[in-house]
């Protein structure tokens, strides 16, 4: 069954604990978007916020690093409580080393791909990844429109993985009731959703809808 990771980016940051509480029992993971104002235009949260979220929940924390030179901060985010850490292919000249570093810290390691980055860029490193994060928007902001070609990339990633369980395929950006169907059908294992979940008065219900049952 597909897993759902609500993205806290669209939560009310003045009431983060309440937002976490609203998806406890329905969400499988919590997605934390780290932005530095350089790799992407926006600036969001650092390890301090991740640590604060960690104190509110037992849910695994899925940390999506949209920053340049992520190697410098892997340890800080792991210590803050990250269970899964993804870095962007476009931000890592020595990706294999970065993945190894995440594993040495004891976290699951993922690589995120911008829409323009082909899935084939991961062919030589696929066996070392716990998950691939396929961006279905250009990263930087919540509430953007789903990029339909992402479903082709999901199928390509599933084909590259063939019969193996890893890497899992995570999809992020513009996921809602309509776009979740083709994304699940294409073979995604984890759906990230921010605005669709947290703009609702009933976030838990939205999580269930995304899971498709």
- Regarding 64 and contact with Zn ion (CB under 5 A), the answer is yes
Nearer to Zn ion, 65 or 159 (CB): 65
Nearer to ligand DX5, 95 or 210 (CB): 210
x-or-dash pattern for ligand DX5, window 42-71, by CB under 6 A?
----------------------x-------
Task: Report the alpha-carbon distance of residue 118 to residue 206 in Å, rounded.
Answer: 30
> 37-72 burial string, b = 16+ CB within 10 Å, else e?
eebbeeebbbbebbbebbeebebbbbbbbbbeebbe
- Regarding 195 and contact with ligand DX5 (CB under 6 A), the answer is yes
Look up 130 and say whether it is catalytic. Answer: no
- Regarding 173 and contact with ligand DX5 (CB under 6 A), the answer is yes
Q: CA of 56: how far to CAs of 32, 46, 123, in Å?
A: 14, 16, 38
- Regarding 28 and contact with Zn ion (CB under 5 A), the answer is no
Specify which residues 134 forms β-bridges with.
113, 171
Nearer to ligand DX5, 37 or 124 (CB): 37
Q: Of 26, 172, 186, 210, which one interacts with Zn ion (CB under 5 A)?
A: 172
Question: Which of 54, 112, 105 lies closest to 78 in space, CA to CA?
Answer: 105
When CB distances to Zn ion are compared, the closest residue is 64
Non-local (6+) Cβ contacts of 162 within 8 A are: none
- Regarding 203 and contact with ligand DX5 (CB under 6 A), the answer is no
């Amino acid at each position: 069954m597909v897993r759902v990771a609500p993205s806290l980016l669209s939560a009310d940051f003045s009431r983060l604990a309440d937002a976490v509480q609203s998806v406890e029992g329905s969400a499988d993971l919590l997605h934390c978007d780290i932005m530095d104002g350089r790799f992407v235009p926006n600036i969001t949260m650092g390890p301090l916020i991740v640590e604060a979220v960690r104190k509110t929940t037992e849910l695994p924390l899925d940390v999506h690093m949209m920053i340049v030179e992520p190697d410098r901060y892997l340890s800080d985010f792991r210590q803050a409580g990250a269970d899964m850490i993804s870095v962007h292919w476009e931000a890592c000249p020595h990706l294999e080393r970065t993945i190894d570093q995440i594993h040495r810290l004891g976290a699951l390691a993922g690589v995120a791909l911008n829409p323009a980055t082909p899935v084939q860029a991961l062919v030589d490193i696929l066996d070392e990844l716990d998950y691939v994060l396929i961006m279905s928007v250009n990263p930087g902001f919540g509430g953007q429109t789903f990029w339909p070609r992402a479903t082709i990339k999901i199928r390509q990633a599933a084909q590259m993985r063939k019969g193996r369980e890893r890497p899992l395929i995570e999809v992020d950006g513009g996921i809602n009731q309509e776009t979740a169907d083709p994304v699940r059908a294409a073979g995604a294992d984890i759906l990230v959703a921010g605005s669709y979940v947290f703009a609702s008065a009933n976030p838990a219900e939205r999580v269930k809808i995304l899971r498709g049952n």
